[in-house]
């Protein structure tokens, strides 16, 4: 992992029409804010939300927090004006909803270019429909500007008629396919939201499940979810110590002319060292935000 690795442990959605929430996010310990013009905004408020988002972003003050603008789909009556807003806004990425084909990604990039957006503006996409899941490998390979897959598990569960269970049994195939596509194409991938704000234990369990599956972070719907997400998608003291031990043992082995070493009874090879270095780099990036 490169030294420029950017943690995305906690990614908070905020309705674009809610100025207070957008401004409060400047003080929250989140890694990323998604300013939402889509699902969280009613049709009657779309224009006001767009204007509010551009104004709030222009004021700055978000520090290290990534700012991502989720637009309405280009096929909607609001999509074209959202693209114009993105071109004017101080954003780090644009999030495209309900992506079902590579062509959708390419169409969005062409529209952004025509509107005068930064030519290297990163693209994030929502994976939230059955068709999108079935095409996710091709979508993930659509364009070099694509950086992040965001799981839209609420919409996906609705479309698939999946029951909401703590183990998410009905979503595991879709989650796994998206994880494979992300890793195959070098993308970051974020787990979906947890809707029950009264179930703190359930949220922690979902974070642990997502982390164990390989997700890089969690999308959130409320500030109370930030601290556990940062903790559970972060690096524990034990993980950091083990990573440092592995790297040190590997360096000693190389100096001794050996291609493998043993740490706490476990055979260590180059692949384990790569992961250990990723862990150390991530913790370093997190420390820089303290």
70 is in an annotated binding site: yes
274 is in an annotated binding site: no
Residue with tokens 């969690």: 218
Contacts by 60-64, CB closer than 8 A, 24 or more apart? 60/90, 61/26, 62/25, 62/26, 62/33, 63/26, 64/31, 64/288, 64/289
The CA distance from 170 to 78, in Å, is 32
Name the nearest CA neighbour of 190 among 12, 5, 4, 65: 12
What are the phi and psi torsion angles at 33 (to 5°)?
-115, 125
Name the nearest CA neighbour of 277 among 232, 245, 236: 245
Query: Is residue 34 classed exposed, middle or buried when 0-12, 13-18 and 19+ CB atoms within 10 A define those classes?
Result: buried
Strand bridging mode 266-268 / 261-263:
antiparallel
Residue with tokens 């006001």: 48
- CB 133 within 8 Å of CB 177: yes
Alpha helices in the chain (DSSP H): 19-24, 46-59, 79-88, 102-115, 130-134, 136-140, 153-160, 172-184, 200-213, 226-232, 237-255, 270-287
Residue with tokens 């839209």: 152
Could you tell me how many helices (H) and strands (E) the chain has, helices first?
12, 10
128 is in an annotated binding site: yes
Binding residues for substrate: 70, 128
Binding residues for Mg(2+): 128, 155
Binding residues: 70, 128, 155
């Amino acid at each position: 992992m490169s030294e420029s690795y950017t943690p995305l442990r906690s990614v908070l959605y905020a309705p674009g029409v809610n100025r207070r929430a957008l401004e409060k996010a400047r003080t929250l310990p989140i890694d990323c804010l998604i300013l939402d013009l889509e699902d969280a905004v009613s049709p009657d408020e779309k224009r006001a939300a767009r204007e509010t988002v551009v104004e709030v972003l222009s004021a700055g003050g978000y520090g290290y927090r990534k700012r991502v603008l989720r637009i309405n789909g280009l096929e909607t009556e609001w999509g074209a004006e959202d693209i114009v807003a993105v071109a004017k806004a101080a954003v780090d990425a644009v999030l495209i909803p309900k992506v079902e084909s590579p062509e959708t990604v390419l169409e969005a990039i062409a529209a952004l270019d025509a509107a005068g957006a930064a030519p290297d503006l990163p693209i994030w996409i929502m994976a939230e429909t059955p068709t999108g899941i079935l095409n996710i490998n091709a979508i993930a390979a659509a364009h070099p500007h694509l950086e992040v897959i965001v799981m839209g598990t609420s919409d996906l569960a609705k479309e698939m008629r999946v029951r909401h269970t703590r183990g998410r049994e009905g979503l595991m195939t879709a989650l796994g396919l998206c994880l494979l596509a992300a890793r195959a194409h070098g993308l970051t991938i974020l787990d979906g939201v947890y809707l029950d704000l009264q179930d703190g234990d359930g949220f922690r369990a979902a974070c642990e499940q997502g982390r164990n599956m390989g997700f890089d972070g969690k999308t959130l719907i409320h500030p109370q979810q930030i601290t556990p997400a940062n903790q559970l998608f972060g690096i524990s003291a034990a993980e950091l110590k083990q990573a440092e031990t592995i790297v040190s043992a590997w360096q000693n082995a190389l100096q001794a002319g050996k291609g493998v070493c043993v740490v706490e009874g476990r055979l260590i090879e180059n692949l384990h060292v790569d992961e250990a270095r990723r862990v150390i780099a991530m913790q370093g990036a997190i420390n820089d935000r303290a």
